[in-house]
Structure 1
Amino acid sequence: MQIDKIRGHQTEQLFKAILELKDLDECYKFFDDLCTISELQSLTQRLEVAQMLKQRKTYDTIQHETGASTATISRVRRCVDYGSGGYNIVLDRLYPEEKESEGKTE
């Protein structure tokens, strides 16, 4: 399983720390201390790309709206389609209305 390659004491400590955050303000403070602006922008860009892929937006649209490279979009696409399911878990919880409309044709 792909998850096994990232398992370890330090990773577990990080994930437990994130789960201890109580609200957005605490998240901002923690991630401001933890990440550089560039690292945080990369993470947020990938999540936005994943959401847009689930919305079936084209690579051109995603690239134009997010500034992500086609390599980043392709990598995120592989994770959304064949990864551990993490993007789908988070996006389905953040945007349940989009999950309900998936597969429906108008």
Structure 2
Amino acid sequence: MKEINWKDKKNIQLVNSFILLKTKGETEAFLRDIMTKYEITEFANRLEAARLLSKNTQYLEITNKTGLSSTTVARIAKWLKGPLGGYRIVLNKMHHTHSQNNTGKGLSLHS
């Protein structure tokens, strides 16, 4: 697959549009406008798979819980361990927010 050109004007615009969002409501509205219900569900399932992988959950359990294929779960596992670290960044931020809002229980990330 061809590498993403992050310097492309349209890609910059997309990334910047997410940075501009300040609230959960704004983000939900934007996601619903920019993606189909299926796409939102697919992305949510991929994030959940990354979260489960970070807890060393078995692939079969992840595919059963998310409906994702084992190939997709394997790809997420590869990206989770990869050098870009997008999933790790989000999961760590989610863990940090969860820890601040609760009793400190949250994700156990194995980087």
1:49 to 1:98, Cα distance in 2 relative to 1, 3 A: same
Cα RMSD of the aligned pairs, angstroms, is: 1.8
Please name the residue that 1:70 is paired with: 70
Structure 1 residue 98 corresponds to structure 2 residue 104: no
Q: Which has the higher helix share?
A: 1
User: Within 2, Cα distance between the matches of 1:28 and 1:5?
Assistant: 25
Q: What is the rounded CA distance, in whole Å, between the counterparts of 1:82 and 1:76 in structure 2?
A: 9
Aligned to 1:35: 35
Task: Tell me the secondary structure at the aligned position of residue 21 of structure 2.
Answer: coil
Residue 12 (structure 2) pairs with residue 5 (structure 1): no
Q: Aligned residues: percent identity?
A: 27
- Structure 1: 5+ residue runs without aligned partners? none
Between Structure 1 and Structure 2, how many residues are aligned?
A: 99
Q: TM-score, normalised by structure 2?
A: 0.81
Q: Runs of 4+ in structure 1 displaced over 6 angstroms?
A: none
Q: Partner residue of 2:102?
A: none
Question: Which stretch shifts more, 89-98 or 61-70?
Answer: 89-98
Q: Deviations over 1:19-55 (max 9, x none)?
A: 1111110011101110011111111111110010000
**TM-score normalized by structure 1?**
0.84
Give ranges in structure 2 of 5+ residues lacking alignment. Answer: 97-105
Q: Which residue of 1 aligns with 2:51?
A: 51
- 1:81-105, CA deviations, whole angstroms, 9 ceiling, x for partnerless residues? 1241010011011013424x759xx
CA–CA distance in structure 2, aligned partners of residues 40 and 102 of structure 1: 26
Q: Which one scores higher on RCO, CA 8 angstroms, separation ≥ 6?
A: 1
Deviation at 1:6, TM superposition (A): 3.4
